[in-house]
Amino acid sequence: MRCLATASLVILVLTFCSLPESSVLRADEPAYQSEIVFPYHPQHNHAPGLVECPNGDLLISWFRGSGERTADDVQVLGARRRQGQQEWSDPFPMANYPGFPDCNSVLWIDPQKRLWMFWPVILDNTWDSCLTNYVVSEDYTGEGTPKWGRQQMILLKPQDFSKEYLANVIHELGNSKPLKPETQGYLDHAKSTVTQKLYQRIGWQPRCKPTLLPSGRILMPLYTDNFGISIMAISDDEGNSWYASKPLFGYGNNQPSVLRRDDGTLVAYLRDDAFSRRVRFCTSEDDGLSWSKIANTDFVNPGSSVDGVRLSNGHWILVMNEGDQDRHHLVVALSDDEGRSWKWKRTLEDQVGGQFHYPAVIQGKNGQIHVAYSYFVEAGETMKHAEFNEDWIKAGQP
């Protein structure tokens, strides 16, 4: 009996040790686990999109190549993790225009359970030359690449915003002396192009997932490095056509992530590439058509992407880099009052010398929170996926 008991104990220990990083996922206690999506890779792998499919599988996308906008070999890849498994499939192609960089990809599943992927194609190796494409699939749970159906571009014709841009953004920059040489260069370029229709209509690219409103309206957040501002591509016909909101003004704001309060107010959280070193925000009271003046949150941020999600219980999640120097510290914050305060925060990554950034966050049907993010260390680059619950956030210290 003693030998049998000892053997059982050994089996139990071995079973526990074989589980994914950190802890067993249980509904009644703090739970966390994580894994890398593919082995460390020598090329640049960056900017994930993430969805949970109706069958419970996870699907991730990212771009890979010898650089970003300046590298013509960049393409969008994907991988799949089957429900109940911990290992991801080998990478497979998701989008590739040969000879042109294909960059930040966004995944989304609409109410009809169709899979959408949005991404920019870079025309002349500058961000301001990009055009945002999207593809739609109704057959995406098999092996490898989804079977893409409709493919189109989001072509926007914003109402001329040059006067408002010059009055607000240029004034803001002009009062921020002295300007760094690269910022002065952006300023000069913006002044010379903002009155041109072409530059108001191209250069808009995605980073964070769409927001679906109760009316059925889809808001697809976009931004342009040409002017350092953001905009919403709006569809009121299930994504068949798109038109532009008024821009979100405030120099250096980009990559908005949009959450909706119960009273209908929309809150956009924004990366700031300018001076504040804070996560920024603004609000809309008209379902995304126009936006308030941009203000700063208390979150210190080095100018890196932020993503958020509203949970099924109404709580809000934000995932972002914290600190004003680099991207080695990645945190998740939790609010139970729709972003008016953030009572809980916990570190996802904190390793000096590494970069852990560009998160994509969703909630699964079982209530678990999933985050995918770029994971750069000395050994190479990969995507990392973490899965946890609210109790895990509340139990930790920043």
Residue 171 pLDDT class (50, 70, 90 cuts): confident
Whether the CB-CB separation of 223 and 207 falls below 8 Å is answered with yes
pTM for this predicted structure: 0.92
Lowest mean pLDDT among 170-179, 257-266, 313-322: 170-179
pLDDT at 176: 66
Residue 173 pLDDT class (50, 70, 90 cuts): confident
* pLDDT higher than threshold 50 for residue 228: yes
Interval 118-146: pLDDT, tens = 999 999 999 999 999 999 999 999 999 99
* pLDDT higher than threshold 70 for residue 21: no
Residue 185 pLDDT class (50, 70, 90 cuts): confident
In sequence order, what are the residues at sequence separation of 6 or more whose Cβ sits closer than 8 angstroms to the Cβ of residue 389?
25, 27, 30, 31, 32, 367, 368, 369
Whether the CB-CB separation of 211 and 201 falls below 8 Å is answered with no
Residue 18 pLDDT class (50, 70, 90 cuts): very low
* pLDDT higher than threshold 80 for residue 89: yes
Distance CA 322, CA 327 (A): 7
The pair of structure tokens assigned to 253 is 């704001």
pLDDT at 184: 79
Cα 175 to Cα 151, 153, 247, 260, 320: the distances in Å are 44, 37, 21, 33, 29
Residue 178 pLDDT class (50, 70, 90 cuts): confident
Average of per-residue pLDDT across 233-246: 98
Instruction: Calculate what percentage of the chain has a pLDDT beyond 90.
Output: 83
Residue 233 pLDDT class (50, 70, 90 cuts): very high
* Domain 32-158+201-395 annotated CATH 2.30.42.10: no
How confident is the prediction for the chain on average, in pLDDT?
Answer: 91
Please report the sign of the dihedral spanned by the C-alpha atoms of residue 33, residue 39, residue 42, residue 48: negative
pLDDT at 174: 67
Whether the CB-CB separation of 327 and 355 falls below 8 Å is answered with yes
Cα 189 to Cα 11, 182, 185, 201, 328: the distances in Å are 66, 11, 6, 16, 32
Residue 44 pLDDT class (50, 70, 90 cuts): very high
